[in-house]
Amino acid sequence: MIAKGEQFVFGQNLEDVAEFVGLQGTGHKPLPPEVLIQKWVMVLRAAQRFMRQLPNEAILERVIPNRDRSIRYMCHHVFRIGEAFLESVEGQTEYAVQLANIPPAEGTYMTGASIAEYGEGIIARLQHWWDHLEDKTCQQKIKTFFGMQPIYMLYERSTWHSAQHARQLTAVLERLGIEPEQRLTAEDLAGLPLPERLWE
């Protein structure tokens, strides 16, 4: 949240933040919605590849030493981001701050392969949503915890959010001494407003 006196704006929509602080936009040029779905599916497919490379015995290790988040939780989160998006755009569920952070049930998804399989269902649902979406401008408004927003805002945010964690998974594999299979390239990620640093 960014505040000036008694006025404030949530930091989730960077265009709103730019306007609030007196800038003429962020300079970011959003990708067309039909390109964004291709990017998102590509990112999720990459995440599946990386997860299938994870040794089962490493799944409960921390992603990074100074944060209490397991590899298992982050892998599940990659696809839970998509599931939360679908719950909001299909089921009229308000996009709440913790919706994408619902963890897997205790004792479930205990291997990278099983989490990748969970992701298969999410990818299929996302593709079905896009294929059957009547208004592909994605300017329809949905309810979020930071107000009514165009679907596109949450759509783009969910895509780059998944991509950031896919990038982090390559670092996890490298730490485990495993070469990530078919890494995401700069061209693959072009147009997504990703953080510069890996662990932001």
Is residue 110 within 8 Å of 59, Cβ to Cβ? yes
What's residue 173's pLDDT?
A: 97
Distance CA 200, CA 194 (A): 10
Domain 33-189 is classified in which CATH homologous superfamily? dinb family like domain (1.20.120.450)
Give the domain ranges of the chain. 1-30, 33-189
pLDDT at 22 over 60: no
User: Can you give the pLDDT at residue 23?
Assistant: 46
13: pLDDT strictly greater than 70: no
Q: What is the pLDDT of residue 200?
A: 67
Q: Is the pLDDT of residue 74 over 70?
A: yes
Exposed e or buried b for every residue in 88-101, given b needs 16+ CB within 10 A? bbeeeeebeeebbe
Mean pLDDT of 152-176: 96
What is d(CA 24, CA 14) in angstroms, rounded to the nearest whole number?
11
Instruction: Give the CA dihedral 145, 148, 44, 54, nearest 10 degrees.
Output: 0
Report the range of poorest mean pLDDT among 13-17, 98-102, 131-135, 147-151: 13-17
Position 199 scores a pLDDT of 85
